[in-house]
């Protein structure tokens, strides 16, 4: 088997969290696809995962918390660089019917 190695960055990682409110479980896959596409298009977004999941059956709302990891192998990242990617995620997510980010 061929082993693939990936260089570990000497530069610090930065993390951002977002909490999404979804009207239905079907929106969960739309959101996951959006975030996966964004990650594939941006080398600085190195990892993401769900850290919180809560379903309120009375109000028919699903809340999903995502954590995003940003890191470069070439330099320390600035807030401006990270915010550009996060703003793209936010803009695309809220354009999907049934997905909202409270507080924005």
pLDDT, average across residues 43-51: 94
Q: What is the pLDDT of residue 56?
A: 85
Span 1-29, mean pLDDT?
88
- CB atoms inside a 10 Å sphere around CB 54: 11
pTM value is 0.87
pLDDT at residue 85 greater than cutoff 90 = yes
Sign (positive or negative) of CA dihedral 16, 104, 51, 95: negative
Residue 1 has pLDDT above 80, yes or no: no
Of 24 and 15, the structure prediction assigns the larger pLDDT to 15
Alpha helices (H) along 17-78:
26-41
Q: What pLDDT shows up at residue 34?
A: 92
Mean pLDDT, the chain, integer: 91
């Amino acid at each position: 088997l061929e082993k693939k190695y990936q260089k570990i960055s000497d530069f610090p990682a930065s993390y951002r969290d977002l909490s999404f409110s979804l009207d239905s479980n079907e929106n969960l896959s739309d959101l996951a696809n959006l975030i996966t596409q964004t990650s594939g298009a941006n080398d600085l977004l190195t990892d993401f995962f769900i850290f919180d999941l809560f379903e309120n059956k009375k109000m028919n709302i699903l809340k999903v918390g995502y954590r995003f990891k940003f890191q470069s192998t070439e330099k320390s990242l600035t807030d401006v660089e990270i915010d550009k990617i996060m703003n793209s995620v936010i803009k695309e997510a809220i354009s999907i019917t049934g997905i909202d980010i409270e507080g924005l």
